[in-house]
Structure 1
Amino acid sequence: MTSSIRKAAADDAGALAELAAVTFPLACPPSASPDDIAAHLANKLSERHFREYLADPDTTILVIDGAGGLRGYSLLVNRPAVDPDVVSALGILPSVELSKCYVHPEHHGLGAAAELMQASLHAAAETGGRGIWLGVNSQNARAIRFYEKSGFRKVGTKSFSLGSTVEHDFVLERALP
C-alpha cells in the first residue's frame, strides 16, 4: 500500500472527523464510558471542529493519505501552554504541543506511526519551537511506550476532562531536532 504524509486541507475535515471517531476511543482507558467518548468526539473532534483547527494559523494538521482515505493524523498547536500543570512541567521553551497523533488500527505495527511522528517533529521544528510536548492517558501503556521510543520523557502530570469524568495524563516532552 502506498501512502504519503501531507498537510491537511480544508476539505479533509469530514474525513478527519471520521478517522477520529475510529482512533480516539482506542486511546481511552477501559473505564471510559461510551457516552463520555461520544461527548468528546462531538465537542472536540467533529467535522466542524476540524474545520476550525484547519483555519487556525497556530495549528498544523498532518495526515497520512493512503489508498482508501486518511490512515492517520497529527495535530500540532504552536502557542504557549496555558494549563498550569503543563506550564510548570515543561523545561524546553518555546514548545509546540503535539495535541493529537493517531493511526488507524489497521495500520498499527506497520511503521506508519513512526513516519507520522518524524513528520510531526519536523513540522514542529519548522515553527521555531525548541521542544515538543504532549499529554497521554496514564493507563495507555502502548502509546507511552511509542512516545518514549520516539524520544519523549515524562516530565509531569495533568488532568483531562473526558465527558463527565476526569482522566489523568502524563505530560511528556522532548527536544526538537
Structure 2
Amino acid sequence: MEPVEVRVAAAESVDIDQLAALAACTFPLACPPSVTAENIASFVDAHLSVARFAEYLADPQRVILVAAHGNRLVGYAMLVSGVGDDADVQRAVSIRPAVELSKMYVLPDSHGMGVSTALIAAAIDAAAESGADCIWLGVNQQNQRAQRFYRKHGFSVTGTRTFQLGTRRENDYVMVRQFPRGPRRSAPAAVTWPANTSSGNRRPASPD
C-alpha cells in the first residue's frame, strides 16, 4: 500500500468516544486464537471503555497518542511512566527510569500504510524526551508479527511476564529499547512528559 500522511498527536477529551471504539476494534487483533470472545469482551469492558479512557487521559503518569488520517483516528498508543509492581517485569526492565509502551494498535484497513511506524516513532520520541532511559513493552509470545515489528524498531527481549486476560493467563515477552546516554540525559528518578507531547506533529508515514 502507498504511505499516507498521518498526524500523530496527544489525545484530547474530544477523542474519547473514537478512542474507545478504536480500542475495542483493534484489541482482538493482538490476541492469540485460543482466547475466547468472552475473555476479550471482559477485558474491553474493564480496561477499554469510554470511562476508562477518560481516567487515562486525566492521569499525569500516562500519555495517549492518536494517529489520524484526515478526521479519522486510525491508531493509538499509550505510554505509562514506570515499571509497575510485577516482579517479572522489574527483573526484565533493569534500566531506570523507564516508560512502558502499554498499548499500540492500528485499524486493520490502515495496516501497511505506515501508521504503525509513525506511531511508534512518536512514542519513542515522547518517552526519550520525558527523561526516561528506556522504553519497554509486553507482547504475546505467539504474536510473532508484532515481535518482528518491535525488533525492527530497536527493541529486544529481556524477559517474560504473565498477562491476565479475562479468566485466562497469557504469556508475554518483555521487550526493551534503551536510549543512548548523553549530556541532555540526567537520569531523573521519575519521568516528566515534555510539553510538546500535547502539540502533536505531522509526519508522513512510511510503509510498515
TM-score by length of 2: 0.82
Q: Show the counterpart of 2:17.
A: 14
| Residues 1:26 and 2:29 aligned together | yes
**Structure holding more helix per residue:** 1
| Residues 1:73 and 2:76 aligned together | yes
| Residues 1:120 and 2:123 aligned together | yes
Unpaired segments of 5 or more residues in structure 2? Answer: 181-208
Q: Show the counterpart of 2:57.
A: 54
Q: Show the counterpart of 2:157.
A: 154
Letter aligned with residue 77 of structure 1: V
TM-score by length of 1: 0.96
| Residues 1:102 and 2:105 aligned together | yes
CA deviations on 1:108-167 (whole Å, 9 max, x unpaired) are: 111110111000001111211010100000001111110111110000000001001000
Query: How many angstroms does 1:15 deviate by?
Result: 0.6
Q: Distance in 1 between matches of 2:8 and 2:24?
A: 20
Unpaired segments of 5 or more residues in structure 1? Answer: none
Letter aligned with residue 165 of structure 1: R
Comparing 21-30 with 59-68, greater Cα deviation is found at 59-68
Q: Matched residue of 2:131: which SS?
A: coil
Q: Distance in 1 between matches of 2:132 and 2:53?
A: 23
Q: Distance in 2 between matches of 1:2 and 1:130?
A: 30
For the pair shown, the structure with the greater C-alpha radius of gyration is 2
Query: How many angstroms does 1:68 deviate by?
Result: 4.6
Do 1:58 and 1:78's aligned partners in 2 also have CA atoms closer than 8 Å?
Answer: yes
Q: Show the counterpart of 2:142.
A: 139
Q: Distance in 2 between matches of 1:142 and 1:68?
A: 28
**Aligned residue pair count:** 177
| Residues 1:89 and 2:98 aligned together | no
Do 1:78 and 1:127's aligned partners in 2 also have CA atoms closer than 8 Å?
Answer: no
Q: Show the counterpart of 2:170.
A: 167
Q: Show the counterpart of 1:4.
A: 7
Letter aligned with residue 127 of structure 1: S
Letter aligned with residue 173 of structure 2: F
Query: How many angstroms does 1:9 deviate by?
Result: 0.3
RMSD: 1.1
Letter aligned with residue 81 of structure 1: G
Query: How many angstroms does 1:52 deviate by?
Result: 0.4
Query: How many angstroms does 1:21 deviate by?
Result: 1.0
Q: Percent identity?
A: 48
Q: Distance in 1 between matches of 2:85 and 2:20?
A: 25
